[in-house]
Amino acid sequence: MEQKVKIQIDNHMVEVPKGTTILKAAQEIGIHIPTLCYMNLEDMCITNLPASCRMCVVEVEGRRNLAPACATPCDNGMRVKTSSLRVLNARKYVLELILSDHPTDCLICAKSGNCDLQNLAKRLKIREVLFKGEQSNYILETSPSIIRDMDKCIYCRRCEMMCNDVQTVGALAAVNRGFSSIIAPAFNQALSESECTYCGQCVAVCPVGALTENDHTNRLLEDLADPTKTVIVQTAPAVRAALGEEFGLKPGTSVTGKMVAALRELGFDKVFDTDFAADLTIMEEGTELLGRLTKFMEGDKNVSMPILTSCCPAWVNFFEYYFPDMLDIPSTARSPQQMFGSIAKSWWAEKMGIKREDLVVVSIMPCLAKKYECSRDEFKVNGDPDVNYSLSTRELVSLIKRANIDFNRLPDEDFDNPMGESTGAGVIFGTSGGVMEAALRTAYELYTGNVLENVNFENVRGLQGIKKATVNLNSFELKIGIAHGLGNARKLLNEIREGKSEFHAIEIMACPGGCIGGGGQPLHHGNSELLKARSQSLYHEDASKPLRKSHQNPFIIKLYEEYLGRPMSDKAHHLLHTCYFCKNSEIQEQ
Amino acid sequence: MSYKMHILVCGGTGCQASNSQGIIANLKEELTNKNLENEVQVIATGCFGFCEQGPIVKIMPDNTFYTQVKPGDSEEIVNEHIIKGRKVNRLLYRDPENKERVSDSKHMDFYKKQLRIALRNCGLIDPENIEEYIARDGYAALAKCVSEMTPEEVINEVKFSGLRGRGGGGFPTGLKWELTRKYKADQKFVVCNADEGDPGAFMDRSIMEGDPHSVIEAMAICGYSIGADKGLIYIRAEYPLAIQRLQTAIKQAEEYGLLGKNILGSGFNFTLEFRYGAGAFVCGEETALIHSMEGHRGEPTTKPPFPAESGYLNLPTNVNNVETYANIPVIMNKGANWFNKIGTEKSKGTKVFALAGKINNVGLIEVPMGTTLKEVIYEIGGGIKNGKKFKAVQTGGPSGGCLTEKHLNVPIDYDNLLASGSMMGSGGMIVMDEDDCMVAVAKFYLDFTVEESCGKCTPCRVGNKRLYETLDLITNGKATMDDLNRLKNLGQVIKDTALCGLGQTSPNPILSTIDNFYDEYTAHIRDHKCPAGKCKALLNYVIDPQLCIGCTLCVRNCLSNAITGIRKEPHTIDPEKCIKCGVCLTKCKFNAISIQ
Amino acid sequence: MITTDIKLSKCQIDEIVKICASFNNQSGELINILHKTQGHFGYLPKEVQEVIARQLDIPVSKVYGVVTFYSFFTMKPKGKHPISVCMGTACYVRGAEDVVEELKKQLNIKVGEATPDGKFSLDTLRCVGACGLAPVMTIGEKVYGHVDASKVKEMLDTFE
């Protein structure tokens, strides 16, 4: 039986299981102790608990000094004060200390209004910073995806924890000591010279403006204002599941129709859907899977198994750096973003009679690695990128607000055709397990020739880090694995490297939860309920769609008929597939 | 082979720096020349403690204590003392009071009040020879523990002795062992914290250099009692001599079956390994030390969990410091009942201090708990150097505080020092005289803490920096009384909120000097004066018109053209231009220039 | 950038690989490995850290994080005659600060730097344990006691 302890917090008695922290016990009775470095995404086992900011200190009777509520377990009979003068005074001093080494240019900070530190300063009513002295002075660093402004770093270590413990990328680490302590890549070199995959999880958890995205909104405004250019947009599935949060809507509210209306209002010539390209991805990747599987079953030794999905650009960066010996394993299919760009600037542009140089393809993504992906040389024709640039969900939010659009009053509108049509399979790409589920729906029917009655593969859904499932294809047991978070991906990759993998196909998404938890999404501020709600909203949208299998998308069928021929044809190969490079310079040298 | 005589030469770091190696070489050569190498043995021992008078050479069995010996004195020592049996008078210690020569250390004030338990073998035995350690009851305690006592009995004996951690915190050692024993695990660890880092403290180093086996034996006893078969010594890489002596000692102990498998046939196994510190004061904190041993940055983590539950590699770990361990074999041999009669009610036994600063007898001392500061400074320490006036004594290093004249009669123990605004710390004891500015001393310690802060928690990373900056303002005469208030308040908050012991104690040097030397702070702030004349920015060079004859020597030597005046008439210094280099003061032949 | 780019020779890399192997390529032995490697090369340039990271299969940022945490590790080569002034309290109250100032003036470098000709480098350290000789400094392996700031120049002149 679980042991319980009774403690007194302020004037309330509370009984909690042994081991519960003071912070949680207080939360349960509605006492919200301020925190800063602390972060806990409970269902995903992601915790940042250095107990180092000292914002959450409380008074524990009989203890010499104040205790950090986040890391102090409740003891039976403990008496805690969370708001005594001693505590309030200490918190105020600690916050002032942080502010004394932090720029006060909040008005023009990228995180203004969305900053944990700013909120605390407001809550604790800081009106003056009494301590003056040396301030950190670092060089602002810009990479294709992420901007590092370390003058604003408060050394909460969340990004370090994400980069190392969760993602196992190890691009960021704590360096130096004392006042010069900072989170940085090795040798303070640029992110672009490090192992960084641009997954953006560091940005997603940064409580202040130290880590932000490379913002393209102004560039977009200029293009939209240019009458010589046709500007079209594609929106990734996960965007619609989170966008509403920033306009006060309940988490999980699907705002697809309003989002389309807003984009039209902003002045895009066409509003398309990345979901269309997701369906296209299934056609190519599914065909590739079946091809490899057939050869494998025929005993072809040249075929490597399992096949890995390749839609996630951070994941691609990850294996290019850490698993360059296995570049033949991932699917060669481009990501939906890039498939969209490639088709838009070929098939659609030709159809519409628009010259490539006059066409601007913009993507709205839940992701920061997509910004980098746009700039990869493989996805350019004569130097012109298939997707000109990518904006995050957060950037779209700010654009909508700047353009004086009352989002909640917008009517629901539909995407433009042909590249706005999608099936439910395309929608669920945005959440972990979705790509695999979509692929199974199509692969099953193509492989067995039977109609799949129940399209819901429940056991590939959910937030656990690694999921496994077996699907029966004409008595062949297809084993699939799903990982989200690069640390989980690494586990599966290591199994493959050691020849111990049981899977035929594996889906990998770099961000915890999949794209719904992407580095470009509205900040979750440590609330994992948000991620669950976003995921649910995508499954609802899938269920509400008349078509739920990618190969049934009429415009996909048309695209193949008119232009590509069949999946994996030469033309498809040229436009929709790619190849991978070893990114680890040390291994390259050897 | 048995020798008739032994010449003990101090091989501690201080004496080595004064070329005690050369003395040993010359003595050996001289003895060989006289064909005495088989009758007289020269031994390099650990520190004798009386560093002020080093290098020390002691002749046994007649117990003659030579001081400030130079390699060139070897010939005379051999010819006169060894061959002719006549003491070399000029090398004997001279009593500062009656100016008489003293040949037996027992009669020197420096040694009279000392009681050497942890240092019992330092300066007596050859630390590189296990036989000498064994001859002085070495490893008898280990033998007794593993063959006659249960682990619980060992722990009870340590608990009953009242021994408290000598690293500074003063946590009861027996209790710590008991806690570690309580947690079940397949593997546990015994760790020796030998990362001595206080600026001005070298107790642990002297023990490891002078009596390495006592630490090894104690760690094995601890291993037996808590159920650990592996010990780790975390030692500063800057202590090469201590490392070498410990390595030699471990090898010898293994050869004698006192370490390794099935020790003394008891079935108990125990091995020792080294982990090297790399220059981070914070690693003296046990959780930081453990992270450092694991190959990480030495950042402390919040407790609980304590190392007793989850330490090295997340396994139960007992961490004690060198001096604590050095007490254990004696306690086991002589019994807790013997040990707990020494000292005060709550602090048993003795404490080793590194006595340094403006004091006549700099050195390593060991006194019973309860000895007063006065006894230490005036009797053992021989009073203040150059007849200056005593001002303060700093104990506890960067975590401690400054005690003043009013504390001189306080019996030294953990609780009294804490109550007086300082702490025991690991045993640094720095004496200051009237020439020391207490604001500058506080600033010195804060500079150290800022430098050594790991940076993990806000109060220590930013707070100590701000404390230092405020002190800097004060010593430059740019602070206000508001700053002083803020300094005090911030100091209190840092004590209350910092994550580890380093941060929680870092404001102590400031708070204790504000308490005890408030006037000195206000003099800097209100009057822009440094009463001790230490803070350069607050000094003013002035020319006394009565004494100046207008020779212009100062004008010609002034680096900043700050001095003006007509020849043969009194000159003046422009304080705005003066850079306070002091050149004029040294050049003036008429004592006309002074500092105000 | 903190370090100058250098290229390690094959046998230098082999040496690092050997050192790591002698600790079974265990990441927990990182600090011991860094000690040994610095003992061999005199300092720990970027390239050396990269090899260690690869051998121990840990991110190089972590190696760099550890190197920059501990004051004993350095990424800059030391001078032919490395000078360290003890800044322990005993030395401080007996005038170590003046010694450091004088050395800075004479060598025209800051603490932590080496002279451009590589002859001297200047550091401070905590406590040598020779408080009886305060103020103390070391040049190379040798300890100098009772150092007088006004005699520093003379002392330096005796070095080749």
Of A318-332, B97-111, B197-211, B418-432, where does the model show the most confidence? A318-332
A196 contacts chain C (CB < 8 A): no
User: C-alpha angle A375/A379/A385, rounded to 5°?
Assistant: 60
Q: What is the mean pLDDT of residues B196-210?
A: 86
pLDDT digits 0-9 by tens, B92-133: 999 888 888 999 988 899 999 999 999 999 988 999 999 999
CA distance A173 to chain C (A): 5
Q: Which of residues 550-579 of B touch C (CB under 8 A)?
A: none
Q: Identify the closest residue of chain C to A185 by CA–CA distance.
A: C61
Q: What is the mean pLDDT of residues B322-332?
A: 97
Rg (CA), chain B: 27
pLDDT digits 0-9 by tens, B384-415: 999 999 999 999 888 899 999 999 999 999 99
CB contact under 8 A, B13 and C71: no
- Which of A174, A194, A586 lies nearest to residue C65, judging by beta carbons? A174
Asked if the model's pLDDT at residue A581 lies above 50, the reply is: yes
DSSP A245: G
Together in a domain, B501 and B428? no
CB contact under 8 A, A94 and B498: no
Q: Report yes or no on B376 lying in a domain.
A: yes
The yes-or-no answer on residue A331 being catalytic is: yes
Q: Identify the closest residue of chain C to A174 by CA–CA distance.
A: C65
pLDDT digits 0-9 by tens, A110-137: 999 999 999 999 999 999 998 999 999 9
Q: Which residues of A96-119 are buried (b: 16+ CB within 10 A; e: fewer)?
A: bbbbbbbeeeeeebbbeebbbbbe
- Would you say how long chain C is, in residues? 160
Per the structure block, which two tokens stand in for B342? 């020494």
- Which of A93, A133, A155 lies nearest to residue B469, judging by beta carbons? A133
Q: Which residues of C touch B297 (CB under 8 A)?
A: 65-66, 69
DSSP A311: -
Helix (H, G, I), strand (E, B) or coil at B507: coil
The catalytic position among A160, A245, A285, A395 is: A285
Q: How confident is the model at residue A395 (pLDDT cuts 50, 70, 90)?
A: very high
Q: What is the mean pLDDT of residues B295-319?
A: 96
Amino acid, single-letter form, for residue C49: Q
User: C-alpha angle A407/A409/A412, rounded to 5°?
Assistant: 85
The catalytic position among A143, A331, A432, A528 is: A331
Residues of chain B above pLDDT 70, percent: 100
Cα B285 → chain centroid: 17
Total structural domains within chain B: 5
For residue B320, which of B243, B226, B244 has the smallest C-alpha distance? B226
**Residues linked to residue A506 through DSSP beta bridges, in sequence order:** A308, A481
- Which of B14, B279, B295 lies nearest to residue C129, judging by beta carbons? B14
The catalytic position among A42, A222, A378, A529 is: A378
Q: How confident is the model at residue A586 (pLDDT cuts 50, 70, 90)?
A: low
Cα A483 to Cα A241, A506, B246: the distances in Å are 21, 8, 50
N-terminal to C-terminal alpha carbon distance within chain B: 69
Exposure on the CB side of residue B403, measured as CA atoms within 13 A = 29
CB contact under 8 A, C3 and A187: yes
CA distance A54 to chain B (A): 6
Q: How confident is the model at residue B202 (pLDDT cuts 50, 70, 90)?
A: confident
For chains B and C, what is the number of CB pairs under 8 angstroms? Answer: 136
Q: Identify the closest residue of chain B to A64 by CA–CA distance.
A: B496
For residue A48, which of A169, A159, A201 has the smallest C-alpha distance? A159
Cα A496 to Cα A490, A491, B378, C141: the distances in Å are 10, 9, 74, 53
Per the CB < 8 A criterion, the answer to whether C33 and C20 are in contact is yes
Asked if the model's pLDDT at residue B1 lies above 60, the reply is: no
Q: Tens-of-pLDDT digits for all 160 residues of chain C?
A: 344 467 888 999 999 999 999 999 999 999 999 999 999 999 999 999 999 999 999 999 999 999 999 999 999 888 899 999 988 888 888 888 889 999 999 999 999 889 999 899 999 887 777 777 889 898 887 888 889 888 888 889 988 7
Could you tell me which CATH class the domain C81-157 is placed in?
alpha beta
The yes-or-no answer on residue A288 being catalytic is: yes
Together in a domain, B333 and B411? no
CA–CA dist A256, A264 (Å, integer): 13
Per the structure block, which two tokens stand in for C35? 């000690």
Q: What is the mean pLDDT of residues A177-197?
A: 95
CA distance A255 to chain C (A): 41
CB contact under 8 A, A188 and C65: no
Give me the CATH number covering residue B44: 3.40.30.10
Q: Which residues of B touch C132 (CB under 8 A)?
A: 14, 51-52, 54, 356, 362-363
Angle between the B518-526 and B438-452 helix axes, to the nearest 10 degrees?
Answer: 90
Cite the DSSP H helix spans in A44-194.
Answer: 85-100, 116-123, 158-161
CB contact under 8 A, A170 and C59: yes
Q: Report yes or no on B121 lying in a domain.
A: no
CA–CA dist B514, B517 (Å, integer): 5
Amino acid, single-letter form, for residue C50: E
Q: Which of residues 227-266 of B touch C (CB under 8 A)?
A: 237-239
Q: Report yes or no on B58 lying in a domain.
A: yes
DSSP A128-168: -------------EE-SSEEE-GGG-----HHHHIIIIIT-
CATH number for the region A4-83 comes to 3.10.20.740
CB contact under 8 A, A178 and B451: yes
CA distance B47 to chain A (A): 35
Asked if the model's pLDDT at residue A590 lies above 70, the reply is: no
CA–CA dist B110, B277 (Å, integer): 33
pLDDT digits 0-9 by tens, C105-137: 999 999 988 999 989 999 988 777 777 788 989
Together in a domain, B328 and B395? no
DSSP B446-495: HHHHHHH--S-SHIIIIIHHHHHHHHHHHHTT---HHHHHHHHHHHHHHH
CA–CA dist A4, A15 (Å, integer): 6
Q: Which residues of C touch A177 (CB under 8 A)?
A: 68-69
Together in a domain, B280 and B162? yes
For residue B224, which of B153, B278, B170, B280 has the smallest C-alpha distance? B153
pLDDT given at position B197: 79
Together in a domain, B484 and B358? no
Q: Which of residues 237-296 of B touch A (CB under 8 A)?
A: 280
Q: What is the mean pLDDT of residues B370-385?
A: 94
Chains that touch A (3 or more CB pairs under 8 A): B, C
Q: Report yes or no on B344 lying in a domain.
A: no
The domain in which residue B52 lies consists of: 5-108
- Which of C26, C69, C131 lies nearest to residue B356, judging by beta carbons? C131
Choose, out of A54, A59, A101, A130, the residue to mutate when testing the contact with B (most B CBs < 10 Å).
A54
pLDDT given at position A589: 54
B11 contacts chain C (CB < 8 A): no
CB contact under 8 A, A188 and C2: yes
With tokens 């500007």, the residue in question is A231
Per the CB < 8 A criterion, the answer to whether B342 and B385 are in contact is no
pLDDT digits 0-9 by tens, B206-250: 999 999 999 999 999 999 999 999 999 999 888 888 999 999 999
Per the structure block, which two tokens stand in for A472? 């029966």
Q: Which residues of B touch C145 (CB under 8 A)?
A: 14, 17-18
Amino acid, single-letter form, for residue B56: I
User: C-alpha angle B389/B393/B399, rounded to 5°?
Assistant: 155
The catalytic position among A56, A335, A515, A535 is: A515
Sequence spans of domains, chain A: 4-83, 99-214, 218-576
Asked if the model's pLDDT at residue A409 lies above 80, the reply is: yes
Q: Identify the closest residue of chain C to A585 by CA–CA distance.
A: C50
Q: How confident is the model at residue A587 (pLDDT cuts 50, 70, 90)?
A: low
CA–CA dist B555, B541 (Å, integer): 13
pLDDT digits 0-9 by tens, B132-190: 999 999 999 999 999 999 999 999 999 999 999 998 789 999 999 999 999 999 999 99
pTM of the shown model = 0.93
CA distance C84 to chain B (A): 12
Q: Report yes or no on B266 lying in a domain.
A: yes
For domain A218-576, say whether CATH 3.40.50.1780 is its number.
yes
Per the CB < 8 A criterion, the answer to whether B185 and B315 are in contact is yes
For residue A93, which of C5, B83, B457 has the smallest C-alpha distance? B457
Q: Which residues of A touch C47 (CB under 8 A)?
A: none
Q: Is the backbone of residue B366 left (phi > 0), alpha (psi -120 to 50) or beta?
A: beta
CATH topology of domain A99-214: Alpha-Beta Plaits (3.30.70)
Together in a domain, B329 and B199? yes
Asked if the model's pLDDT at residue A177 lies above 80, the reply is: yes
pLDDT given at position C2: 40
Exposure on the CB side of residue B256, measured as CA atoms within 13 A = 18
Per the CB < 8 A criterion, the answer to whether C67 and C44 are in contact is yes
For residue B510, which of B528, B532, B493, B526 has the smallest C-alpha distance? B493
Q: What is the value of ipTM here, to two decimals?
A: 0.93
Q: Which residues of A touch C60 (CB under 8 A)?
A: 170, 186-187
- Which of A164, A169, A175 lies nearest to residue C64, judging by beta carbons? A175
Q: Which residues of A touch C49 (CB under 8 A)?
A: 186-187
Chains that touch C (3 or more CB pairs under 8 A): A, B
Asked if the model's pLDDT at residue B57 lies above 80, the reply is: yes
Q: Which residues of A touch C9 (CB under 8 A)?
A: none
CB contact under 8 A, A194 and C61: yes
Q: How confident is the model at residue B560 (pLDDT cuts 50, 70, 90)?
A: confident
- Which of B51, B52, B276 lies nearest to residue C31, judging by beta carbons? B276
CB contact under 8 A, C54 and A586: yes
C152 contacts chain B (CB < 8 A): no
Of A473-482, A531-540, C79-88, C98-107, where does the model show the most confidence? A531-540
Torsion of CA B497, B280, A172, C113, to 10 degrees: 120
Q: Are strands B93-94 and A359-365 parallel, antiparallel or unpaired?
A: unpaired
Structural element, H or E, at residue B135: helix B130-135
Q: Is the backbone of residue B335 left (phi > 0), alpha (psi -120 to 50) or beta?
A: left
CA–CA dist B309, A46 (Å, integer): 24
pLDDT given at position A370: 98
The yes-or-no answer on residue A515 being catalytic is: yes
Exposure on the CB side of residue C142, measured as CA atoms within 13 A = 8
DSSP C58: S
Together in a domain, B474 and B496? yes
Torsion of CA B292, B295, B297, B303, to 10 degrees: -50
Q: Identify the closest residue of chain A to B451 by CA–CA distance.
A: A178
Task: Kindly report whether the peptide bond that precedes residue B398 is cis, defined as omega within 30 degrees of 0.
Answer: no
* HEC readout, A503-520: CCEEEEECCCCCHHHCCC
Q: Which residues of B touch A89 (CB under 8 A)?
A: 493
Cα B448 to Cα A178, B443, B444, B465, C101: the distances in Å are 11, 9, 6, 11, 17
Together in a domain, B254 and B279? yes
Together in a domain, B139 and B230? yes
C39 contacts chain B (CB < 8 A): no
The catalytic position among A111, A152, A270, A370 is: A370
- Would you say how long chain A is, in residues? 590
- Would you say how long chain B is, in residues? 596
